[in-house]
Every structure is written in C-alpha cells, then in structure tokens.
Amino acid sequence: MDHKLAAPTPPLGWNSWDCYGAAVTEEEIRGNAQYMAEHLKAFGWSYNTVDIQWYEPYANSSQYRPFVPLVMDEYSRLMPAENRFPSAAGGLGFKPLADYVHSLGLQFGIHIMRGIPRQAAHAATPILGTPVTARDIAHTNSICPWNTDMYGVDASKEGAQAYYDSLFELYAQWGVDLVKVDDIAASRLYDTHQPEIALISKAIKRCGRPMVLSLSPGPAPVEYADFFTEHTNMWRVTDDFWDLWSLLLDMFDRCRKWQGVPQAGCWPDCDMLPLGHIGIRSVDGGGADRWTRFTRDEQLTMMSLWSIFRSPLIFGGELRDNDDWTLSLLTNREVLRMHRESHGAREALCRADLIVWTAGHSDGTRYAAVFNVGEDPLQLELALEKIGMSGVSAGTEMWSGTPADFAAGVLRTTVPPHGVRLYSFM
C-alpha cells in the first residue's frame, strides 16, 4: 500500500505529552478520547496518542528516570505498564484501549523511541522469528542524548528488519493507527537516522494495517524533504514547541523553508498545539501546571499559521478542561476547511512587522493570513494585488465572521500585536 494513503489530509488529534509528560494513564487517555468523540469528532478530529514511556511503570513527569527497568515481552518488545494501563493485563497490550478508542469512532496512536531496549541488548533476548538476539542488532554507539531507554538498531545486521517487522506486527494486532517515532528525524549527536526510518517504513508496509508514521524531533533537515516524503507521513520541523512567543515567531522562518513541500500524505509538522490546560505532570517548556501562556491573539496566530501551512494539528492540553474559547479554536469549520482542502500555501509578503501567507482552493476561494509580529497595533491598507489576489469581490475574516473591509482592491484592517486577520476571498 502507498504510505501516503494513510494521511491524505493533515492529521488532527490529541497527544498526552504537553499535559502529562511520560506519566499519562489509561483513565486519562479514555477520558480525553471520550471528550473528542463528543465535542470534536464532528469537526474531523480523530487521533488519540499515548506519548513516551508507556512501558515505564513509575514514570511521574516529563523528566525521565534513567536506566530503570522497563516492561518488555520475551521478544525484546516493550509492553504497556499494567499499573498505568490495567486493560493491558494478560499480555493484551494496547488492544483493549485501542478497541475502546475505535468504539468511539476515533483512531489510536502510540509513541515509541527509535531502536531496541538497552535491557534487551544487555540480556541478549530473542528477536521473533530469527536466530539472532537484541545484542546482535543493537548499535550501542547510537544513543539518544536525552533518554536512556534504547540503543539504535544497526540496519546492516541480520535481524534488524525482522525486529522492526515484529514490532509493527504487534502494533497491527493491537489496532494502532499512528506511530510517533522519536529520536529519529533529527539528532543532537548524529544526522537524521535514515537507515532506521527505511526499516520502519518497510515494516509498516509489511504489517497489513495502514498506520500514519510521524517522526520527531526536529528540526528535520529540509534538504532531506524527498526522503521524508518517500518514507513517512509527518516529520517535525522544530524541536519541542511550547507556549512562548519567541518560538512562535521563529516558526514563520521554519514554515518559509518548508513551503511548497506539504502534499497529500506528507506533512511537515510544526509540533503540538500547547493550548488550554497544560503542564499538569509535564515540566518541559519552562512552566508547570498552567493554562497556556499564549495570549488570545497569539493563539489565533498559531492556529492560523499551522492551518494555512497545513501542518498536522495535534492538541496538547487536557481536553476535558477546555473552556469555550479554546474549544472555538478547534471547531471553526471554515478554518478547518482551509486546513483540509487548500493548496499552494506560500509566504506572499514579509515587510517589517507584516507577514502575509496566502493559499487557494479548488472552488476558487482564496485565503490570506495577515500577521503582525510586532509589538504595536498595525494599521494596514494593503493592495491585494501585492499578494496575488487581484479581482476578488467579497471577503470574510474567518475567526470573527465579519466582512472584510476593502474597496478598489485595497484591504483595510488593524492587526493587534502578535495577532492575525485570517481572510477568505472570492
């Protein structure tokens, strides 16, 4: 099967990292999935992903406990910790939890680290269906600089492909729909781990179940764009993104570098949306238990940039705590239509504090996101021909629903500091 068919449009979903770090529980996954089914499924949201270290029984935050015992089966494969995921008891793994998520009409995802457990390599445990052991395929000089769970896999060794095949056969049995693979798209110590990406891509094709393949962390090198589109569905263009204006401002440069690359099945990923109630058991990003530090204008800027660029939209907050404002950011049908169906997104203008992105739609709709990255309100009279939009006759600001103020081809508006006006024109 062509891997691109797994994600014909940018995925929309929820991931446990921003609120629970490595310590999410089954109850919290079920609760967020239920909220998604009730409030977001009708708008296209579907993925529910268990982030890192679901196999670590005593994980308690986003700070990893080094060199601790992990739950593993007899074939070197990590398994859910039953004290955190009770339905995994009896060797069932994530199948009962995935079945529950599927029963809501949603999809289930998991996070894994690149490689093979260090404890499997040290114990020389078997690789399913082969005469080799974890020690034989472990690349002990290929390590993650921020997590001690794994060694890399040496792709040249007999049994390397069989190990990844056995992983994804297991995930297919569980009913996994998305796999986020970490320590692979970019590295502080090494280049992009292309050999292991190729092994994983082949394993997914062989497992018999469509799965979205997501790679982290970034920044993934733009010069490898063709490789990423050949093997994967989404890949991070940034390191972990948090609720800081400096990181959001930097994302404009990153999107500019990757413009023209998003295509059906292949999505450069701006990372999760740190919105709503985050930091509950995750202390990354310079803050503890909190509501997002982004102002409302900054939240609109983030949602507008991610949406017109067509990054995956993966919400990071505790969904059940959403207020009406936060929910409104996720349920604007016109913005989601642009995200799902538009094409040709590009930076059309960058001048001082003004940045304008544009895109089109097959029905003739044209979109313009007018950003003010400065510290003062921006009073604007913008000739639409300067952004390639001559001849439009009507327009709407998509977040507020108010008609665009333009005449004789000139758009008039005031954009607040760190804010945006997002337009659809006909």
> Does pLDDT of 5 surpass 80?
yes
Query: Do residues 385 and 363 share a domain?
Result: yes
**Within this chain, do residues 154 and 60 fall inside the same structural domain, yes or no?**
yes
What pLDDT sits at residue 359? 98
pLDDT in tens, 196-253: 999 999 999 999 999 999 999 999 999 999 999 999 999 999 999 999 999 999 999 9
Which residue, 322, 341, 360, sits at the end of a domain?
Answer: 341
Domain limits for position 97: 3-341
The pLDDT of 69-83, averaged and rounded, is 98
pLDDT on residue 210: 97
Q: Both 76 and 93 in a single domain? A: yes
Q: What is the CA radius of gyration of the chain?
A: 22
Euclidean distance between CA atoms 39 and 108, whole angstroms: 17
User: Which of 316, 341, 366 delimits the end of a domain?
Assistant: 341
The tokens of 231 are what?
């093997």
For residue 180, the tally of other CB atoms under 10 A from its CB is: 26
Between CA 278 and CA 271 the distance in angstroms is 15
Last residue of a domain, one of 286, 306, 341: 341
In single-letter form, the type of residue at position 179 comes to V
Same domain, 257 and 405: no
Both 180 and 66 in a single domain?
yes
Pair of tokens at residue 351: 């001048």
- For residues 424 and 360, is the Cβ–Cβ distance under 8 A? no
- With H, G, I as helix, E, B as strand and everything else as coil, classify residue 237: coil
pLDDT tier, 113 (very low <50, low <70, confident <90, very high otherwise): very high
Cβ-based neighbour number of residue 141 at 10 Å:
10
Nearest alpha-carbon partner for 351 in 320, 330, 378, 391:
378
293 in the same domain as 406: no
Provide the H-helix boundaries in 26-138: 26-39, 95-103, 118-123, 134-137
- Residues 264-319 pLDDT 10s: 999 999 999 999 999 999 988 777 899 999 999 999 999 999 999 999 999 999 99
- Residue 256: which pLDDT band, with cuts at 50, 70 and 90? very high
Residues 141 and 245 grouped into a single domain: yes
Cα 96 from Cα 57, distance rounded (Å): 18
CB atoms within 10 A of CB 143: 19
pLDDT at 179 over 90: yes
- Kindly report the pTM of this predicted structure: 0.97
Which sign does the torsion angle of CA 42, 43, 47, 48 carry?
negative
How many structural domains is the chain composed of? Answer: 2
Q: What is the pLDDT of residue 304?
A: 99
- Mean pLDDT of all residues in 96-105: 98
**pLDDT confidence bin for 357, thresholds 50/70/90:** very high
- Non-local (6+) Cβ contacts of 57 within 8 A are 69, 71, 81, 83, 84
Length of the chain: 426
3-state secondary structure of 412: strand
- Asked if residues 22 and 51 have their Cβ atoms less than 8 Å apart, the reply is yes
Same domain, 12 and 120: yes
Residue whose C-alpha is closest to residue 309's, from 262, 272, 351: 262
Give the pLDDT of residue 184: 98
Q: Which of the four pLDDT bands, split at 50, 70 and 90, describes residue 89?
A: very high
CA 118/CA 64 separation, integer angstroms: 15
Rounded CA gap, 120 and 135, in Å?
7
Has residue 153 got a pLDDT over 90?
Answer: yes
Span 327-332, mean pLDDT?
98
Query: Is the domain of 253 the same as that of 212?
Result: yes
Q: Which run of H or E residues covers position 116?
A: strand 116-117
Query: Three-state DSSP class for 63?
Result: coil
- Whether 112 contacts 78, CB under 8 Å: yes
- Do 181 and 133 belong together in one domain? yes
Residues 207 and 315 in one domain: yes
Structure tokens at 50: 């268990």
What's the CATH code of the domain at 292?
Answer: 3.20.20.70
* Residues 279, 398, 396: CA angle, nearest 5 degrees: 165
Average pLDDT over residues 150-166: 98
Region label for 395, one of left (φ > 0), alpha (ψ between -120 and 50) or beta (otherwise): beta
Tell me whether strands 178-182 and 107-113 are parallel, antiparallel or unpaired.
parallel
Are 127 and 181 contained in the same domain? yes
What's the CATH number where 404 sits?
A: 2.60.40.1180
